[in-house]
Copies of this chain bind each other. A is one copy, B any other.
Amino acid sequence: MLTKREMLVLKEIIRHYNETGQPVGSKTIMGTLPMKVSSATIRNDMATLESAGLIEKTHSSSGRVPSDAGYRYYLDHLLQPTMVDSDDLNMIQTIFRQKFYQGDELVAQSAKILSELTHYTAITLGPEVGSMRLEGFQLMPLGNRRVLALLITTSGQVVNKTFVIPDTVTGEQLEAVMRVINDQLVGKPIAQVMDQLDSHLVPLISRYIHSPDFFMDLVHSILSEASADRFHISGKMNILDYAHMNDVDQLKSLYHLIDTDDSLANLLGLDNHDDEGSNAHGVTVRLGHEFPNQLLAHMSLIRATYHAGEYGDGIIAILGPSSMPYSKVIGLMDLFRDELARRIADYYRDHG
């Protein structure tokens, strides 16, 4: 159990290290603590903090640096989110006041705003994913053995894809497939349709078409395009600033990670939904070393879920260095999730 002053010392070490990036010494702390104590006292406190594993030395006579555990302790016990300052608030509201045509634009813009305000990397995910249902499906012959497949979802997303049809396929067959899908599948959640493709669709289509392989491929292909997680990432290049990578190959791997939907889903914890690391504000912080992936070692992921009412939940997240102004960033995220949730609800209410 830490004393009050030890906590303060830890907090100050984290604050200073954040600002300067340099190890912090006892004299520096002495200057900024609210009470008047000597540097020797602080040295003693630091020794305690060090044996508790919360801070580290870079070499035997250096100042102290927060350790992974130190950050964890800070996040869990010491952190108080700051209010978003009015300039930032203004910027957010100004941008959100624009007119958005596509539902996605709102979410994409969010990533942009977040990355610009923080100078880190922002990742956002729209609310549609889970709750999205199939609204319509069309096949339009384009001539010359090509056909345009068009899939519309309840969230207003439209996916189109052109296919080359085998010689054996006739116009009537196209009609039949279209009819079957619109009769049987419209209104069902996309995810469910995906799962039951083989068991449901094959028998239905086989009634009209002898070898339904082509159509199965087609439907599968366009469905997976529609149901793929649509991450919006902004500020990718900021990684160059905050990930102090000496190895170019690691940097490349990191970018690969960010660019791969699967790893991103994994990063955001889209698979398991335990709330570890969440604090009272519904904003969760995961430190890099808590991820299985070595690459994220000195990074930190701040993640918040926003609730767009009946339209489902979405995610906003920020990837940055372990050493960042958490109070500010968490304050920002907390405000932003509400703001975005409201805007999305507005959007769908007005024209959803």
Contact = CB atoms under 8 A, between A and B. Distances in A.
A128 to B, nearest CB: 13
A216 interface: no
A345 to B, nearest CB: 15
Interface in A22-54: none
Interface stretch (A83-91, A106-114, A150-158, A296-304): A150-158
Interface in A129-152: 135, 142, 144-146, 148, 150, 152
A240 interface: yes
A102 interface: yes
Nearest to A102: B162
Nearest to A165: B351
Nearest to A163: B101
B144 A351 contact: yes
> How many copies are assembled?
2
A160 B161 CA distance: 10
A150 B150 contact: yes
A158 B162 contact: yes
A123 B158 CA distance: 28
A351 B146 contact: yes
Contact of A142 (B142, B152, B241, B350): B152
A352 interface: yes
A142 B156 contact: yes
Contacts of A256: 237
Interface in A240-269: 240-241, 248, 251-252, 255-256
A161 B146 CA distance: 21
A310 to B, nearest CB: 15
A343 to B, nearest CB: 15
A79 interface: no
A102 B161 contact: yes
B248 A241 contact: yes
A55 to B, nearest CB: 29
A164 interface: yes
A335 B237 CA distance: 34
A169 to B, nearest CB: 13
A325 B240 CA distance: 28
A162 B348 CA distance: 13
Contacts of A152: 142, 148
B101 A351 contact: no
B144 A352 contact: yes
A67 B351 CA distance: 61
26 contacts: A101-B161, A101-B162, A101-B163, A101-B164, A102-B161, A102-B162, A135-B142, A142-B152, A144-B351, A144-B352, A145-B351, A146-B156, A146-B351, A148-B152, A148-B158, A156-B162, A158-B160, A160-B160, A164-B350, A164-B351, A237-B251, A237-B252, A237-B255, A240-B248, A240-B251, A241-B248
Interface of A: 101-102, 135, 142, 144-146, 148, 150, 152, 156, 158, 160-164, 237, 240-241, 248, 251-252, 255-256, 350-352
